[in-house]
C-alpha cells in the first residue's frame, strides 16, 4: 500500500508494518528525519501500524525537530521516561496520567508519602540513565480486556479506571525496556532522543482534580531537543522567580496575606499602601477630568438586591454565603453594578443628560477556591477600578471609543504599550434580542477599528448579558495578563427597570457599559511588581529618595537636604546610621529606591550632593536645586508616556 508524505513523496508500505520501516528510504531523501507526522489534527508517530487499506488521498505532514509541535512528541516521551524512573525507584507507586503541557510535562503519581527534593534528584538521575540506555519505544494496539488484565497485573488501578472510560474497543500501549504505559501517543523513536530534560517541582494534585479522590503527587518537568533551549528556558524561570510578586511583596514590605486573617484577603503594608494610594489618586483625578462622577457604595447589601440583579441566579457560587441580622438577610457584594443603578435612579433622567458616568474604586468579595488563590493575582477581596456608563443607543460607539482611549492611556502611563485584544460575541444563552446584540457587537468592532487596534474574536464567549472586549497586557518577559474589560449590558437596566425620557417624551431603556481599566488594584499591583521586578517608576515608588551620610559629621547637612526634599513633596527616607556607606548603599539598593543622595565632607563643604541611581550611575557635584528640577519632571504620571512615544 501507498503512503504519501508531504514534500517527501510516496512510499510503499507492507500492511501490518510500521512507519519505522520507511526510515532507511526517507533518510536517502531528507537530510533531517521528521520526529513524527500529522494527519488532520492527529499526531502519528513512527510506531504507527497501518493495517487497513488506506485511502489514496491520505497524506501525512512531516513534523521536524524545529517545529513547535515536535515538542509534543518529545514531552510525551519524557513523561514516560519519568514514570519508568519512578517505578524503578518506588515500585509501589501507582501511575495516574502524564501529559505534555505548554511548558513541559508532568506525571501524576500516587505514593504513600509526598516526593521530596531528595527523591526528585534521585528520580532525575534515573531518568538520565534511562535516556542513556536509548531504549526503543514500541506501540501495540490491544483489546480493552487485554489491557485491563495487563494493568491489573501491574497494580495500576488508576489506569484501569481510564481504560473503562475509553470509547473504542481497542487501546494503544507503548513500552520501552520493561516499562509499559497506556497512551495514545505520540512519541519519539527511543528514549535517547530526549536530549535535554529537567525535573522542576512536585505538587499535590487530586486524582482528576476532585477533592473526594486520593491525592497524587504531580511531578513537573520540562524537556527540549537541545541543551541550549533548556538553559534558556531555565534562565527565564529563574527570572520569573526573581520577579514573583509574592516574594517581592514581602521583601519590599508592600503587602501581606495572613493565614490567621483569611486566605485571599490582602493587608496593604505602609509602603504598598502609599503606592496604591498614589495610583488611586491619579485614577480619580483622571476620571473627574474625563467626565466621570465619583461614588462610594457599601460592601454588603440585602440578599433581595442580588435576586433582582440576577447574581443569585447566575453568580451565586462565587458569592460569600448569606448572613442574617434582625430577620433580614444580607450578602457581601461580588460586584458594584446594582448600587450604581440606584445612583442613577435618584432622579427622573432625560435623554439630554447622557452619557452619565459613575466611577468607584469598589471593593468586592468573591469566593475563589483556596486551591486557586495566588498572591495578589487571585484573591477573595479586591478593589475594582469600576465604572458604569449609562447612554443612549446612538451614543454607544462614541462612548466605547472614549473608554478604549482611557484604557490605553492608563496602561501606557504605567509602561504597558503592547496588548492582545479579544472581542467576545454572543453566547448560546443570552438575554436581549439578536438585533441589539448585533448592534452592540458592531459598536465594539467599530470602536476598535476606529482606534486602529487589532483584535481577535472569541466567538460565543460574551457574557450572557452582552458582548465584551478584554485586554491582555504584555509584560517585559512577554507574558500576557488579563486586566482591562469593557462590557455592554442590556440586562441589568431591564432587570431594574430603569428608564429615561426621550425627545418624544416617551420612556426608553438606557444601555449600560461596565468597565474596569486596571481590573483590580490588587491584580494590577501584582502585575506591576512583576513587570518592574519591584523597581517602580519614580512617580509611584513608595520611597523615591534615600539620603545617606558618610560620617556623623554630615548629619546636619543631611537633615537639611531631607527637609527641602520633603517640602517639595517627595517621599524621602534618611539613613544617617553609623554604618559603612557601602552597607547603606546595599540596603537602599535592595529596597529598589530610585535615587540615593550621598553626603560627605566634600559635598557639605561645596554645598552640593552626589547622586547614585538604582542602576548604579553616579552623578557628582550636583546642585540640589538642579536635581529637584530633574526629578520634578520624572514625578509626573505622564513621564513614562512621553518616554514611550
Ligand atoms: Zn505518552
Ligand atoms: Zn458592573
456 CA from centroid of ligand 2 (Å): 23
User: Which spans in 347-422 are helix H?
Assistant: 396-413
487 CA from centroid of ligand 2 (Å): 8
515 CA from centroid of ligand 2 (Å): 7
Ligand nearest to the CA of 390: 2
Q: What is the mean pLDDT of residues 46-55?
A: 76
* Four-residue CA torsion sign, 525, 529, 532, 538: positive
Ligand nearest to the CA of 176: 1
413 pLDDT above the threshold of 90? yes
Rounded to the nearest 10°, the torsion over CA 304, 309, 312, 317 is -130
556 CA from centroid of ligand 2 (Å): 54
314 pLDDT above the threshold of 90? no
613 CA from centroid of ligand 1 (Å): 52
How many Å apart are CA 377 and CA 374, to the nearest integer? 6
206 CA from centroid of ligand 2 (Å): 35
Q: What is the mean pLDDT of residues 289-306?
A: 97
514 CA from centroid of ligand 2 (Å): 5
User: In Å, how far from its chain's centre is CA 76?
Assistant: 25
Say whether 101 sits in a helix, a strand or coil: coil
Ligand nearest to the CA of 493: 2
Residue 267: count of CB within 10 angstroms of its CB: 11
Active site positions, annotated: 337, 366, 384, 386, 388, 468, 514
Ligand nearest to the CA of 389: 2
How many Å apart are CA 330 and CA 301, to the nearest integer? 5
How many Å apart are CA 357 and CA 287, to the nearest integer? 9
227 CA from centroid of ligand 1 (Å): 22
1 pLDDT above the threshold of 90? no
Q: Residue 288: what pLDDT?
A: 98
- Give per-residue pLDDT as tens, 520-570: 999 999 999 999 999 999 999 999 999 999 999 999 999 999 999 999 999
Averaged confidence pLDDT in the chain? 94
Ligand nearest to the CA of 514: 2
- Give per-residue pLDDT as tens, 15-31: 888 899 999 999 998 88
Amino acid at each position: 500500500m501507498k503512503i504519501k508524505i508531504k514534500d517527501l513523496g510516496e512510499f510503499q508500505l507492507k500492511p501490518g508494518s510500521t512507519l519505522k520501516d520507511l526510515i532507511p528510504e526517507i533518510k536517502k531523501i531528507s537530510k533531517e528525519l521528521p520526529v513524527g507526522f500529522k494527519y488532520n489534527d492527529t499526531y502519528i508517530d513512527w510506531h504507527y501500524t497501518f493495517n487497513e487499506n488506506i485511502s489514496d488521498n491520505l497524506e501525512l505532514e512531516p513534523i521536524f525537530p524545529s517545529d513547535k509541535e515536535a515538542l509534543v512528541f518529545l514531552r510525551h516521551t519524557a513523561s514516560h521516561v519519568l514514570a519508568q524512573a519512578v517505578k524503578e525507584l518506588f515500585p509501589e507507586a501507582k501511575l495516574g496520567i502524564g501529559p505534555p503541557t505548554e511548558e513541559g510535562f508532568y506525571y501524576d503519581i500516587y505514593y504513600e508519602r509526598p516526593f521530596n527534593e531528595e527523591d526528585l534528584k534521585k528520580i532525575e538521575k534515573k531518568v538520565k540513565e534511562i535516556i542513556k540506555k536509548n531504549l526503543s519505544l514500541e506501540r501495540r494496539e490491544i483489546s480493552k480486556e487485554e489491557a485491563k488484565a495487563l494493568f491489573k497485573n501491574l497494580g495500576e488501578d488508576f489506569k484501569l479506571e481510564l481504560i473503562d472510560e475509553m470509547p473504542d474497543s481497542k487501546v494503544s500501549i507503548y513500552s520501552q525496556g520493561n516499562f509499559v504505559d497506556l497512551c495514545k501517543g505520540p512519541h519519539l523513536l527511543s528514549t535517547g532522543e530526549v536530549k535535554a530534560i529537567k525535573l522542576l517541582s512536585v505538587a499535590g494534585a487530586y486524582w482528576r482534580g476532585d477533592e473526594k479522590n486520593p491525592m497524587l503527587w504531580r511531578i513537573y518537568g520540562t524537556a527540549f531537543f537541545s541543551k541550549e533551549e533548556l538553559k534558556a528556558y531555565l534562565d527565564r524561570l529563574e527570572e520569573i522567580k526573581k520577579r514573583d510578586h509574592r516574594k517581592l511583596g514581602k521583601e519590599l514590605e508592600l503587602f501581606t496575606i495572613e493565614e490567621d486573617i483569611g486566605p485571599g484577603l490582602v493587608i496593604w503594608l505602609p509602603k504598598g499602601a502609599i503606592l496604591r494610594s498614589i495610583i488611586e489618586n491619579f485614577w480619580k483625578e483622571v476620571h473627574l477630568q474625563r467626565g466621570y462622577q465619583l461614588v462610594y457604595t457599601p460592601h454588603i447589601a440585602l440578599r433581595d438586591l442580588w435576586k433582582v440583579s440576577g447574581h443569585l441566579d447566575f453568580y451565586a457560587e462565587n458569592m460569600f454565603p448569606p448572613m442574617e441580622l434582625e430577620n433580614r438577610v444580607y450578602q457581601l457584594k461580588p460586584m458594584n453594578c446594582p448600587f450604581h443603578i440606584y445612583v442613577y435612579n435618584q432622579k427622573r433622567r432625560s435623554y439630554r443628560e447622557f452619557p452619565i458616568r459613575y466611577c468607584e474604586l469598589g471593593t468586592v468579595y468573591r469566593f475563589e477556591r483556596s486551591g486557586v488563590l495566588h498572591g495578589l493575582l487571585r484573591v477573595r477581596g479586591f478593589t475594582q477600578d469600576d465604572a458604569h456608563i449609562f447612554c443612549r443607543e446612538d451614543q454607544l460607539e462614541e462612548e466605547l471609543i472614549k473608554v478604549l482611549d482611557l484604557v490605553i492611556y492608563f496602561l501606557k502611563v504605567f509602561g504597558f504599550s503592547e496588548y492582545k485584544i479579544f472581542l467576545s460575541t454572543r453566547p448560546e444563552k443570552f438575554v436581549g434580542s439578536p438585533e441589539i446584540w448585533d448592534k452592540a457587537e458592531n459598536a465594539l468592532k467599530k470602536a476598535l477599528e476606529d482606534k486602529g487596534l487589532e483584535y481577535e474574536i472569541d466567538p460565543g464567549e460574551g457574557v450572557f448579558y452582552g458582548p465584551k472586549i478584554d485586554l491582555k497586557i504584555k509584560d517585559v518577559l512577554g507574558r500576557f495578563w488579563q486586566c482591562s474589560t469593557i462590557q455592554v449590558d442590556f440586562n441589568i437596566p431591564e432587570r431594574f427597570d430603569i428608564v429615561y425620557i426621550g425627545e418624544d417624551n416617551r420612556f426608553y431603556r438606557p444601555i449600560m457599559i461596565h468597565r474596569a481599566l486596571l481590573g483590580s488594584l490588587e491584580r494590577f499591583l501584582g502585575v506591576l511588581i512583576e513587570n518592574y521586578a519591584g523597581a517602580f517608576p519614580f512617580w509611584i515608588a513608595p520611597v523615591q529618595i534615600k539620603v545617606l551620610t558618610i560620617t556623623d559629621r554630615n548629619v546636619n547637612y543631611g537633615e537639611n537636604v531631607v527637609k527641602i526634599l520633603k517640602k517639595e513633596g517627595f517621599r524621602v527616607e534618611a539613613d544617617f546610621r553609623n554604618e559603612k556607606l557601602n552597607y547603606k548603599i546595599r540596603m537602599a539598593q535592595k529596597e529598589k529606591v530610585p535615587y540615593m543622595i550621598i553626603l560627605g565632607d566634600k559635598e557639605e563643604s561645596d554645598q552640593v550632593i552626589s547622586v547614585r541611581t538604582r542602576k548604579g550611575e553616579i552623578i557628582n557635584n550636583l546642585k540640589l536645586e538642579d536635581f529637584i528640577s530633574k526629578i520634578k519632571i520624572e514625578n509626573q504620571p505622564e513621564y513614562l508616556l512621553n518616554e514611550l512615544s
